[in-house]
């Protein structure tokens, strides 16, 4: 009976550790460039400041997976009437998990949960870069 209890306990521990955890993330600052008014595709020389975003993210550091609600970029999907963005990520240098696609980057430090993110659509669309911090929900 003790062995059965031990197997159940270990099974639950391993099973639960494979799932993403929910994080609440807040931008510290967002800056970038907008197209000039009336001249789409030509960027204003002055940088623009954007309202920092707050978003929730499901992050699995073991499986290197990232899904967020409240920011744009990555692979888009709908669930329960809400838009989510998801990405497969890679193990980066210095304990970071880095998620990149053609136009978007999200890199988070596994230890202190500080992140850097950017959108680089270009061609007239807004270009931005920001940093912030996540906390476990």
Question: Which residue(s) pair with 112 in the sheet?
Answer: none
pLDDT at 43: 74
Q: How far apart are CA 30 and CA 27, in angstroms?
A: 7
More confident residue, 78 or 103: 103
| C-alpha closest to that of 133 among 32, 21, 23, 22 | 23
pLDDT at 116: 94
User: Strand ranges (DSSP E) for 1-137?
Assistant: 21-33, 35-36, 39-43, 48-50, 54-60, 65-69, 75-79, 82-88, 90-91, 96-100, 104-109, 114-120, 127-136
Least confident of 27-31, 82-86, 106-110, 114-118: 82-86
Question: Mind listing the pLDDT tens digit for each residue in 56-84?
Answer: 998 999 989 888 877 766 555 556 666 55
Helix (H) / strand (E) containing 7: helix 2-17
Least confident of 13-27, 97-111, 118-132: 13-27
Question: Which residue(s) pair with 135 in the sheet?
Answer: 24
Question: Mind listing the pLDDT tens digit for each residue in 38-57?
Answer: 776 677 777 888 889 898 99
**Where do the structural domains in the chain lie, given as residue ranges?**
20-136
């Amino acid at each position: 009976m003790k062995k059965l209890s031990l197997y159940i306990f270990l099974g639950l521990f391993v099973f639960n550790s494979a799932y993403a955890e929910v994080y609440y993330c807040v931008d510290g600052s967002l800056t970038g460039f907008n197209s000039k008014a009336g001249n789409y595709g030509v960027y204003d020389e002055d940088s623009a400041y954007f309202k920092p975003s707050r978003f929730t993210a499901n992050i699995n550091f073991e499986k290197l997976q990232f899904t967020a609600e409240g920011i744009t970029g990555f692979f888009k999907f709908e669930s329960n009437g809400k838009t989510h963005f998801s990405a497969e990520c890679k193990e980066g240098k210095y304990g970071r998990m880095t998620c990149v696609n053609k136009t978007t980057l999200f890199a988070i430090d596994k230890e202190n949960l500080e992140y850097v993110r950017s959108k680089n659509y270009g061609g007239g669309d807004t270009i931005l870069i920001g940093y912030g911090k996540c906390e476990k929900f």
